[in-house]
Amino acid sequence: MGLPIKHRKKFVSHKKRWDKQTIVDEAVLVNDYALKNKKEIRKIELMLSKYKSIAKSLNRTVATKQSSDAENFINSLKNKGFLKMDATSLDEVLDIGMRDILDRRLSNILYKKKLARTPKQARQFVVHGHVKVAGVCVSSPSYMVSLGDEDSVEFLPNSALADESHPDRIQAMGGMVEIEEMEKIPLKNKNEKSFDDVEEQMDDEEVLEEVEE
């Protein structure tokens, strides 16, 4: 007999598994945002579908459109950075795209603030525990940074990267490279784990914690 727990699906599956255009578009997203794999895209798609389902349910009648629930829902999406600050309609929620969500990932915020030279390097800095948000160390590249916390994204004081004279900081401040010019960041030695391996280990630990709960 298995554990009496409820497994919640964290991603959606495509009906067209071998659609060429979908494969190409997703490969571009993986490259542009240095995603671990396409499963991260599936999680964002599930998040988008939930937001749009809520918007549709609140958009059915005039009473629900003008309710406090609708207003709070729109304001929460604004605070998360998924909607523009001048958005006032539930219809605008339906226009939220994949990149609107991916742009709020911690690794992308770090890259846009010119604290990393490439999205992949930004992901590495986060996974290796060099970055803090609102004073707290965050090691998940997929962490969604709200507008209020965006200014607090910086390196930990005890991190070597906190020094602006660090070679990687100098290169980052000198200019971000384009996606097609990205180079693979070499490991210091053969025994050092890559940041993808570290993150995969963190995912496994998260699953174990959910099972224990």
Residue 207, pLDDT above cutoff 70: no
Cβ–Cβ under 8 Å, residues 195 and 130 = no
What's the chain's length in residues?
Answer: 213
As a CATH number, domain 106-212 is 3.10.290
Q: Given this model, what pLDDT does residue 119 score?
A: 94
- Give yes or no for a contact between 125 and 110, defined as CB atoms under 8 angstroms apart: yes
Average pLDDT of every residue of the chain: 82
CA 14 to chain centre: 20
Query: pLDDT tens digits for 83-140?
Result: 999 998 999 999 999 999 999 999 999 999 999 999 999 999 999 999 999 999 999 9
pLDDT for res 164: 86
- 9, 148, 206 from 121: Cα distances, Å: 30, 24, 24
Q: Confidence band (pLDDT; 50, 70, 90) for 8?
A: low
In this structure, what token pair is assigned to residue 9? Answer: 């699906």
- In this predicted structure, what is the pLDDT of residue 202? 56
Tens of pLDDT, residues 16-61 = 677 888 889 999 999 999 999 988 999 999 999 999 999 999 998 8
pLDDT of residue 183: 44
Cα gap 141→198, rounded to integer Å: 12
The pLDDT of residue 107: 95
Residue 19: per-residue pLDDT: 83
Report the pLDDT value the prediction gives residue 18, as an integer from 0 to 100. 79
pLDDT in the model for residue 188: 42
Residue 205 has pLDDT above 70, yes or no: no
Domain boundaries, given as residue ranges, for the chain: 20-102, 106-212
How large is the average pLDDT for residues 8-23? 74
pLDDT of residue 166: 86
Residue range 193-199: average pLDDT? 53
